[in-house]
Every structure is written in structure tokens, then in C-alpha cells.
Structure 1
């Protein structure tokens, strides 16, 4: 029997079986049941259709982790529109590119970020602008609550599991963001896999410390909702508020990059808060391998259970886990060695580490190859980028998505990331294109040449570092200070992309044909580290 896999069924199931149960604790204090959450999503779907939004149209969502994001996402998808979440850390120019590239027809933007859209609204194809506090926003914006209350009935169109339902934009190595297209089927299967491997159940209380815009919160907008668990919403990530929510709301599960773990550890060391409420706590981390000391503190001091997972926007994101309890005892220090690894594939997910000819490297935990993957949770394509799509799936191994990470694999098939093939820096869980940073620095008249690489950082795992050849050729007396160049990048890029480490050099290492050999610079920066990627 074949039954279409549709993302709308996650909220349908929750309403059907958990309609009277608490679904969402809002940042403003309101508490909504699943039936109330569903009614608000219905109202948003109806409002979109009243404004001409049809099946397949793109609807952008720019929001911190509030209940409005959940309502806008499910409302758009119920109307058959393509949910297009936006990274709220980006600049107006970034938003202009994405809204134009995706052909976004409508946008909901939180009042804290609407000004970034207002600044470029005349440059984009978007015609419908909605916010959660119209009085706090300049320009002509409609009120989310008012249109939801007046939304009436909506018509859910017939949908197919092979149709695109989300587009998630990710930083590309060329600097231009790429739209990752995901189907109903891919999103649904990924949510199923996340539910199994992250052990999500209906009595879970999930704290939103992971941005919902990050490939739909690692699929948790679907998995947590479908299981009828409870969402605790946030407007940011503050250590004190996280510990308080864990205690007062009896949080049982959350996600966070290693930088979040480090922030929690620093706060714990200084304030010694209570770390649990009435529920045991487990936390999933990804983005960089957490050091053993971090895992030890989280598990032995906090009393939480840590799950290390791995993936990319293009892969769902989650494709591997190191939560393999047959390979360690819960009270043994061996578990730290295992949990540092990215692990092996989720159910139904084929992970390989291949050499330049596409052959599997030996399971000796020494030979390095590129990680490639096949799985039902992997993206359909890049939006309007057929050549990039072709390369991503067929570079070394035909039919596999190539992650650009270089790894070893042990005798059990568990991978361990050692280096990165792409010109991507992953800082605090955010992808940053080194080429975009170089292009920005080249715009400064005092910069003659520049190469940007990831440098190790105790807080962020890795951070951008620029090697700059000054225009006057004198690294001892450059015509612009490092502080001024840092400020230049801050003014022209999203804040998290700011280049805070700058080293002036006479020249850059190059090949005989003049290509900059970044590998030499990376070896120099990482010579005291065990691997060439960050540990946050």
C-alpha cells in the first residue's frame, strides 16, 4: 500500500490525538493547545489564500523561535505554499538576494527584524508583508494576529509527496546562498528518523535553543509536533534563561551547537544553577565535534545525556549519530571517545568515505576521504542551480551527495571528521563562505591580496582569519589597521561573519600557476590541533 508522505500530517496528527494538550509555551507567556495552534495555522493559511497565495508560491518566515514561526510555517504549508525560512542574522542585501532568487510572494517577519525587509521591499518581488507587531514596524505591514483572527476557512490543495515544500538557504562556497529544495517525502522521512534516533516521545518537553530557520530546526518543527510533545519557545539563547526553563518547564530535550554547550558550562561554573527539573535531560549537538571535556561536564556535572549528530542543510540535516550504546558503558570514560565521533548512518542512510576515485577508504581510522551520503532525507536539488546540483551529487561518487568534509572511518563504520574540502568556515554552527569574506575585504582600497581560512577558536570551534597583503606591500606598517578592517567587514556583512582575526603578510603562498595555497595557511594555524576542523 502506498500512502503519500505529507508534512501537513504532523500537525493533523497532533490535533487529532492531543488537541486539548499543551502544545506551545510562547515567549509572551501565552500557552496554546494543539487545537489552538492548529486554528491559528488555519487562519494564516486562509489569510495567505485571500491575498492570492497559491500552491507552489514561496512564503518566507523571518522569526526567532516564537510560536509565530510554527504557525506561519504550518499555515503556509497547509495552503500548499513553499516554506522558506530566513536566517535572521543576515543583512538586508542578503535578504534581497534570497527573496529575489526564490521569487518570494509573501513574508512574515518578526518585529525585531522587519526593518531589514522594509529597507529592501521595493527591490524584491514580495507583495504581502506581515508582522507580529505592526505598530512597532515602520512601513505598511499587516498584523499577524489580526489576519489570523479574520482568516476564515482555507482550501487545502491536493499535494504530492514529491513536490517541494521547503527551501532552506545555505551559504555557498561562491558566496551566493543556495536554496536547498526539500520535498514532502524528504522532510517526512527525516522527521521519522529524527524521532527514532533522538528518542522523541509525546511526553517530551522540547526547548528551542536551536534556530528554527536552521533547516526547519533540524526537522524538529515536524518531529516534536507530530509526536504531540511540547514546544518551549525562545527569543534568543541566554544561559540563565535556558537553565530557568529547564527547571520551571521540566524540559527533557534540546539541541545546541558546541558553542551553546560552552556558554552553559561557563554560566554553570560561575552560578551553579540547578540543571534539571522533574525530567531527565538529553541534548543533541552538531556543527563541530565537542571536546571530551565538554561532554564530560555536560554528562557528569549537569547530569544530562549528550547525543552527537552530524549532517548538512542539504542532507536533512541529520544523517549520522554517535549514540551507539553497545560500544560504551554509560559510566565508562570510553563513551567520550565514541561520542566525539560523528558516528554512523541513521536508519536507511548510506554513509561512505571515498577517495578521489570514488572508492571506499579502508576502515583503519587513518586514511582520509570525503564523506558522501545517500538517503531519503537528502535534498531534491538546489533552487535554479542545475550545475551546482549535478556537481554536488556526482563529483567523486555518482548519485551520492558530497558533503565536502574529509574524514576517517573506524572498524565499526563510525566516521570522524578531520578536515574540510570546501571553502566553508563553520563558526558556532553557522556556515560562512571564506570567498564571500575575501570578496568583501578586496573592496577595501588598502587590501592588495587576501586569503581567509578557518582558525581554531575555543568558544566558536573555528573563526575566520584573514591573511592580508597590504596595498603598500609593508606588513609592518600597513595603510589600514586590523581594527579598521574588522570594522569594515562588520559594516558590510552579517555580524556573525565579521573577520576579527587579521594577519598582515608580504605575500600569500601560491602554486606555479598563481593559485593561493590555503592549505599551507591552514596547516600553519592548526599545527597544534589534532585535526583541521574546529572543536567548539
Structure 2
């Protein structure tokens, strides 16, 4: 035995499991009167928020809900959703934040699959929840807790559950919650979008949630008392762990029920918002808003964007507003973002086109993620860092899920070779930065040639009339597949299919050009991500519209 292992035992004095719950405890002790939550007329301090979270935990325990019990919530970005991120795991339970745009059948599946013991629901979603509860197949009862929100009004229908405020009031504000017995304990359950078959349940642990929350601070150099606007749904990867990040910084949660440009600019002006996150479509919404709507918005707001690479026009538009844009990348399985396109000082001297090219990359690993590499999925060896050789993005480290709930086969496949397989195809540059080329299922194979849908989309976004674009494969009797472009135009803008193709011809080889262009609003998830699976279905049924 090593001398460093003799009589040097782990004990409560020198070791504690990592958990993001520790952040709210510290902040409430040090900054009890600092503002924690803003919602309409509500102003709630960190001391009040901590007490309410303990009351929620206490009431759950009194209801017989404890360690490893699932508590589902169907809530928008409102104060009870912030409280759920602390109060539910304080009871030892596992938070299952449900996508508020799901249909009753999918919600019923998730309630059953996750074995939910309780559900907290907002008045806006009681009709969906009522149907979902009726569709459940498990016989075990579910405790229903109903919130209220003056900004929404009374529920369309009552579920006959316990009012949230009454449930909170019955709890002990001094409840002595226990830290997790093990930092590997589950803290949250998040379901992936089930585009084929049932969605998979991604299980987060306390250690991962804690490390990603801290990494968020480090990636943004986020100062204490930052004011964070909730444009990103908290049900999406637990808001990329930002409910816990904001608590760590003793910041302010500015809640927002709906993502609307006017509401966002009003909140930034009124509350001095310093940070917010969102998909590219959210950023485009702001950039393309009327100039009058942007008046009085202070410079220096930091925005984090994930998903499709921000095109040059978007970066330029954000800079004109005085916003500082950071590009991140990740998946539900890695707690939201797990890589960041870390900006180098000398990039500021480059023209906007070159900055857009550099910022379009998905970047390098988060501070507290062990590794993010592009590997050959067959050999599991790193591909050459030449910016050309394609492989699959894979992750190792604490910011990776425990696995898929009740799905050992999918878990084993996802972790094959000791790495998490993202399914995203990418290249890695000599400076180590990663750039996605496509999802493996989104590569278009036309006449034996591989076409990256992302490459074509990047070109489409350069057209001044294009607000959003997506490219998918369309079956073709001669070529097997050809690119089909779905294009959403900016308000008041116009373009023809021929003009769009002519624009693409200036930047792409002939075989990569869209053979069909379809105009209209693109289907999007509640987080603003374009739903390519739906577009693939549409493309498969398109008749002769070649251009």
C-alpha cells in the first residue's frame, strides 16, 4: 500500500459529494437579500427562494416522495420552475422537466416510463396533462400539484390537484435537506425528442450538473450578480444547467413565459439583463426586429447560441446591436453545451466574414469536460487534425449522462469504446477546434457523392432574404438522393427558387445545388431547433418541383 493511502481515509471532514444544490445554500447565506427571481410584479430574494425550495422538498417528503423518486414538471419559464430545480432534488427525488409542446400521448409515455410519483403543472398545460393522465398505463397514482400565474390567468380546466402555493405553505422553510449520498445519484431525467420510436430518457447525475454549471461560469467569465433572461426553456437540458449556474453567481433569474422580440428587449432594458441563451432562430428574431424596438438597449449583453453555426449576417447583426455572441455545441446527453468556440484575441482584427468562419466552428471542450475529440467510429482513433478528414464527435468526462433509463442496449451503444458517441460528423482543425459537417443521418448521398446539408445551409443563410433554412435529402430516381432546400424568408423580403439556386451556384459545386426549393415557415421545436425529421417526410412526398 502506498504511503499516500495509509491512514488517509475519506471522511465527512475532507470529502463531500459534488452537487449544484450547494450553490443556492451558499448564496442564500451570503447574499440573502439579493434579488433571485423576477416575474411580472414578483420580486423574490435568494433567502426567500431558498426557503421556498426547502418547503417544496419538505412537502414532497411528507407526501412519501424521496430518494430516486421521479417528480415531473410541465412548466414554462416561471418561478416554480426555478424552485423545482432545487426543491425536488433537495428531497432526494429526480426532476423530470417535460417539454411543454408535447402531445398527451408522449407525455403519458414519459410519466409511465419515468415512473413519476408526482407532477407539477402550469395552468396553460392542464388540458394536455389531463389527457396524458387519462392515457397512462401504469396503475400507480400520481400526486398532482397545480401552479397559478397571474400573467397567464386561470387554468382552462382544473385537474383537481393540490394548489402549488398551498403545497409550499405546508412545508418547513427550515427543512434540513440532505446532500446526495453519492454524487453519482440521479438529479434529473430528460427525454430526447423521439423522432423515431419512443424518446429515450437521459439520466443526469449531481456531479455532472455541478461541473457543467461551473463550466458555464468559466466559459462566459460570468460575474457575480449577473442578470440572466430566460429565453431558453428550462425544460431543455435543464436550461443547459443555468438554473444552477445563476444560483452559483447569486444572479437574477428574469422569467419569461414566451419568447417574443418585444418582451425580450423590454426585459433587457427594464432589468439590466446581462446574459441570455437561445437557438439561432431566437437570435435572428432579435436581429431582424424593427429598429424602434431596439432603442435604448444597452451594449454589452452576452448571448450564447447553440445549434446551427451563426452565419456572417447574424454575427454582424448582433455586433450592430452591441451584443457579444458565444457559440456552443452539445446534446441532451452531455447536459446541453459541452464545447465552446473560445474566441482568440486576434480574431477581433479580422473582417466579419472570416470571424463568421471561425465562430461557425463548434470549438473546444468545456473547462470541466475531460475530452471532446473527432474519432474514426470504426477504429476509435483520432482523425488527423487537418480540417478535412471526417469522423464522429465523441466525449469523455463528467459532463456526460449516466445513460439511458431502462435502455441498456442504447446505453451500451452510446458508450462503445469508452467514449460517448454523438452521432455528429465533423472535422478537427490543427488548432484543435471542431467543426460539424453533418449528422450522420443528414448526409445526402447523391450519385455516390457525399453532400453536407450544413454546407449548403451555410450558403443559403448568406442570401440577404433568408431568415432560416434547412436542407434534407429528397429521393431521386436517377441520383438516389438530391438536396431539397426549405427556406423561410425574412418579413417583407422576397426571392424566387431560381434566385436561391443562382446564389448557391456562386459558392457550391454543381452536384451540391438544391434541386428543389420550398418556401414557407419551417417547423421548429420549442427551443427553436428546426425539425429536420418532419422536413425529410415532406421532401419524400414532393412531386416534380425541380429548379
Among residues 163, 169, 173, which one is paired with 1:149 in the alignment? 169
Q: Which residue of 2 aligns with 1:432?
A: none
Within-5 A mapping of 1:44-63: 44-63=56-75
Looking at structure 1, the residues matched to 349 and 215 of structure 2 have their Cα atoms a distance apart, in angstroms, of 23
Aligned residues: 456
Determine if contact 2:185/2:205 at 8 Å carries over to the other structure: yes
**Out of 356, 359, 366, which is 1:339 matched to?**
359
Matches within 5 A, 1:126-525: 126-133=141-148, 136=155, 137-152=157-172, 154-159=175-180, 160-172=182-194, 174-269=196-291, 271-274=292-295, 276-277=297-298, 280-299=300-319, 301-329=320-348, 332-333=351-352, 334-349=354-369, 350-355=371-376, 356-394=378-416, 398-422=417-441, 458-462=466-470, 499=534, 502-503=538-539
Partner of 1:437: none
Q: CA RMSD in A?
A: 3.1
The 3 A distance-change label for structure 1 pair 11 and 364 is same
SS in 1 for 2:202: strand
Distance 1:315 1:108 in 2: 25
Give a deviation string over 1:218-246, Cα, whole Å, max 9, x none: 11010111110111000010001111111
Task: Answer whether contact 1:66 1:235 (CA < 8 A) is retained.
Answer: yes
CA contact (8 A) 1:24 1:231 kept: yes
2:517 equivalent in structure 1? none
2:38 is equivalent to residue 18 of structure 1: no
| In structure 2, C-alpha distance between the alignment counterparts of 1:226 and 1:90, rounded to whole Å | 31
Single out whichever of 316-325 and 217-226 deviates more from structure 2. Answer: 316-325
Whole-Å separation in 2 of the counterparts to 1:265 and 1:226: 30
TM-score, L = length of structure 1? 0.79
Q: Which residue does 2:48 correspond to in 1? A: 36
Instruction: Give the drift of 1:414.
Output: 0.5
CA, structure 1 residues 503+388, in 2 after alignment: closer, same or farther (shift >3 Å)? closer
Tell me how far apart the structure 2 counterparts of residues 240 and 204 of structure 1 sit (CA, whole Å). Answer: 21
Shift in Å, 1:144: 0.6
Structure 1 CA distance, aligned partners of 2:387 and 2:57?
Answer: 51
Aligned position for 1:5: 18
CA contact (8 A) 1:464 1:499 kept: no
| Residues 254-282 of structure 1, C-alpha deviations (whole Å, 9 max, x = no match) | 0111000111122145x3522633x6211
Change (3 A) 1:374 1:503: closer
Measured in 1, the distance between the counterparts of 2:76 and 2:119 equals 14
- Flag the 1:308–1:382 CA change in 2: closer, same or farther, 3 A: same
For residues 116 and 506 of structure 1, what CA distance do their matches in structure 2 show? 33
Task: Quote the residue 2:504 is aligned against.
Answer: none
- TM-score (normalised: structure 2): 0.77
